[in-house]
């Protein structure tokens, strides 16, 4: 018997095999869950479907731009049909900021860039949970996890507007944990150390960040996608049934250091 046999999960934000969302998908599948994936638009569809086709059986995929209410409603209707009217778990791995708003100083952030980054990176957690709630209620409860980073609580040079987004994302996670707890729905976050992903390539000086963390972290190394994916699995699974509104750091211990 797998830990998640009979459980259903929706994973958002898969971009390629290096995605933390894909690592979480693999962890969920390894423990018996049925998983569906989403893609934002036609440009990303073939990439996501190619990964989904590598699984046995192939994973169902649904188009959903989580910033568009009609997309969210339509996608969750289709997901409900796929999973028999219930959903147990959600992985929110959606974030975006314009390249120009990750360069220079935070004082140079444009109003439009700030609004876009917040809408995509923070509001989508709220829209996903609103869409998932009826299916989770039908399942008798559920759990969700979002992906954060230390730049939301401390200044990380060049992270800029995304740091502001992660701060608001973690706050949204806590408010959702309070709001949805009465429905037996848990919401938590994983704060991952720097990992080589497609999104990370947009951060100036990222390779230097990897080297620095490896030197300063208590474990003397960086973390892997698989380690972050397994942490998501823990927070989504019954093993964490008494945990909600928390941030779990998976960064080789880097966040505890003062110097």
Catalytic residue among 39, 123, 159, 249: 159
DSSP codes joined into one string, 196-233? --TGGGGSTTHHHHHHHHHHHSTTSS---HHHHHHHHH
Catalytic residue among 149, 175, 249, 254: 149
**Helix (H) and strand (E) counts in the chain:** 8, 7
CB atoms within 10 A of CB 152: 21
Rounded to an integer, what distance in angstroms lies between the CA atom of residue 255 and that of residue 234? Answer: 20
End-to-end CA distance of the chain: 45
Rounded to an integer, what distance in angstroms lies between the CA atom of residue 27 and that of residue 232? Answer: 8
Active site residue 159: yes
Active site residue 39: no
Q: Which residues are part of the catalytic machinery?
A: 149, 159
């Amino acid at each position: 018997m797998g830990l998640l046999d009979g459980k259903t999960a929706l994973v958002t934000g898969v971009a390629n095999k290096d995605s933390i969302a894909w690592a979480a998908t693999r962890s969920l599948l390894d423990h018996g869950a049925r998983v569906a994936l989403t893609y934002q638009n036609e440009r990303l569809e073939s990439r996501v479907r190619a990964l989904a086709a590598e699984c046995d059986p192939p994973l169902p995929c649904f188009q959903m731009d989580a910033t568009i209410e009609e997309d969210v409603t339509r996608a969750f209707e289709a997901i409900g049909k796929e999973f028999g009217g219930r959903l147990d778990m959600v992985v929110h791995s959606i974030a975006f900021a314009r390249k120009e708003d990750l360069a220079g100083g935070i004082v140079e952030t444009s109003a439009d860039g700030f609004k876009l980054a917040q809408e995509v990176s923070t509001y989508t957690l709220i829209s996903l949970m609103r869409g998932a709630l009826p299916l989770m209620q039908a399942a008798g409860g559920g759990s969700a996890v979002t992906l954060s980073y230390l730049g939301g609580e401390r200044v990380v040079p060049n992270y800029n507007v995304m740091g502001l987004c992660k701060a608001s994302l973690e706050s949204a996670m806590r408010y959702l944990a309070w709001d949805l707890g009465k429905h037996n729905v848990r919401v938590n976050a994983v704060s991952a150390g720097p990992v080589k992903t497609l999104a990370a390539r947009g951060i100036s000086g990222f390779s230097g960040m990897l080297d620095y963390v490896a030197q300063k972290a208590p474990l003397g190394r960086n973390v892997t996608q698989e380690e972050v994916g397994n942490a998501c699995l823990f927070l989504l699974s019954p093993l964490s049934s008494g945990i909600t509104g928390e941030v779990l750091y998976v960064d080789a211990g880097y966040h505890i250091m003062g110097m």
